[in-house]
Structure 1
Amino acid sequence: MKKAKFRKGNLPEKTCLACGRPFAWRKKWERDWDNVRYCSDRCRKKR
């Protein structure tokens, strides 16, 4: 199965559960994107 390649103009987005801001996919979240819920450590700690 081939992995989808992400280009800067075609990055998936999610909405942060803490602040409600949209945030885009990052390389460091590649393996864990399905579990990412917050845009930053600050929002994750705020919950």
Structure 2
Amino acid sequence: MRGVKKQDLPQKNCPVCGRPFSWRKKWEENWNEVKYCSDKCRKSKNSRSF
């Protein structure tokens, strides 16, 4: 992903909050498994109440 502009990075929508989130370097190895935009959404995946 080197040399790619931020606006051209892959994006996904968080199933909990519905917000789009972009690829991050720390997710390079497992981008296909990433589902949630943050730890807060990952922890509240069952309750869905913010």
When the two structures are superposed, what TM-score results if normalisation uses the length of structure 1? 0.83
Superposed CA RMSD in Å reads 1.3
How far apart are 1:34 and its partner, in Å? 0.1
The 4+ residue runs of structure 1 with deviation greater than 4 A are: none
State the identity as a percent: 57
> How many positions carry a matched residue from both structures?
44
Gaps of 5+ in 2: 46-50
Higher helix share: 1
Q: Which residue of 2 aligns with 1:19?
A: 17
Gaps of 5+ in 1: none
| Residue of structure 2 aligned with 1:30, choices 14, 18, 28 | 28
